[in-house]
């Protein structure tokens, strides 16, 4: 496994140059992996020898990454994959350490060196959930089912979504009332930083939250129609 410097997604939104650079570096990192089957095992993916491709699930959809040239596509759709999603998947595959899930949940603030990122994390990932689902949290359960989510036992309503094979996200809502506004949080298995750096965790949670919001606003829970 390559133990080079951690690769991260740019935090600045719409950073075209930063995304292009991040993608090129991720492609190079993938090509440097000598035992791709072992690395696939670490991240819960499969290596398809006949296709020379990595097969992995992301928000209940199967993606293929060719090896070593890193072309990323959805297995059962002609729809394109965003550059951000390509980078996120490559970072996950190339940097996964294979640590077993601990079953212990932590908040974003408990991640090492993450406190300074919390306002960004809240505004991009938690606030959309609270704004759209806070007054009717039961709708979160409906939308989460379409991306493989299952009911959890926190707050007034909570769901756990395996956004990536080894990266479960637990989204929690407390319903607002006349006295208190709704609140929410997103929790992770303590091992999450063995799979993604803090910057990528923010982007993953943002993508997951907005996927659920788009499902709600589209009036259906077909994940294909929510992608954009």
| Count of beta carbons in the 10 Å neighbourhood of residue 176 | 15
Flag whether 3 is in a domain. no
User: Using CA atoms, how far apart are residues 225 and 228, in angstroms rounded to an integer?
Assistant: 8
Question: What share of the chain has pLDDT > 90, as a percent?
Answer: 85
- Please write the tens of the pLDDT for every residue from 127-157: 999 999 998 999 999 999 999 999 999 999 9
Flag whether 8 is in a domain. no
Flag whether 70 is in a domain. yes
- Please write the tens of the pLDDT for every residue from 7-32: 999 987 777 889 999 999 999 999 99
Residue pair 133/208 in contact by the 8 Å Cβ criterion: no
Q: What is the DSSP string of 79-107?
A: ----HHHHHHHHHHHHH---PPP-S-EEE
| Count of beta carbons in the 10 Å neighbourhood of residue 74 | 17
| Count of beta carbons in the 10 Å neighbourhood of residue 174 | 19
Flag whether 211 is in a domain. yes
- The predicted pLDDT at position 225 comes to 44
Mean pLDDT of 40-49: 98
Helix or strand run (H / E) with residue 186:
strand 183-189
The total of structural domains in the chain comes to 2
The tokens of 146 are what? 């379409």
Residue 181 has pLDDT above 80, yes or no: yes
Provide the residue range defining the domain that includes 81. 16-95
| This prediction's pTM | 0.91
């Amino acid at each position: 496994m390559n133990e080079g410097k951690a690769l991260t997604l740019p935090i600045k939104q719409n950073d075209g140059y930063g995304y292009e650079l991040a993608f090129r570096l991720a492609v190079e990192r993938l090509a440097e992996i000598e035992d791709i089957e072992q690395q696939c095992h670490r991240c819960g993916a499969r290596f398809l020898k006949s296709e020379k491709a990595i097969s992995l699930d992301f928000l209940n959809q199967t993606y293929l990454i060719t090896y070593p040239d890193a072309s990323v596509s959805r297995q059962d759709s002609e729809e394109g994959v965003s550059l951000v999603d390509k980078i996120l998947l490559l970072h996950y595959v190339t940097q996964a350490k294979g640590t077993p899930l601990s079953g212990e949940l932590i908040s974003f603030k408990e991640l090492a060196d993450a406190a300074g990122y919390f306002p960004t994390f809240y505004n991009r990932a938690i606030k959309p959930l609270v704004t759209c689902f806070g007054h009717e949290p039961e709708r979160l359960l409906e939308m989460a089912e379409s991306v493989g989510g299952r009911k959890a036992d926190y707050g007034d309503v909570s769901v756990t979504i395996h956004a990536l094979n080894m990266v479960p996200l637990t989204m929690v809502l407390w319903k607002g009332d006349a006295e208190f506004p709704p609140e929410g949080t997103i929790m992770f298995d303590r091992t999450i930083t063995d799979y993604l750096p803090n910057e990528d965790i923010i982007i993953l949670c943002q993508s997951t939250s907005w996927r659920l919001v788009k499902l709600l606003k589209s009036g259906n829970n077909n994940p294909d129609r929510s992608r954009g």
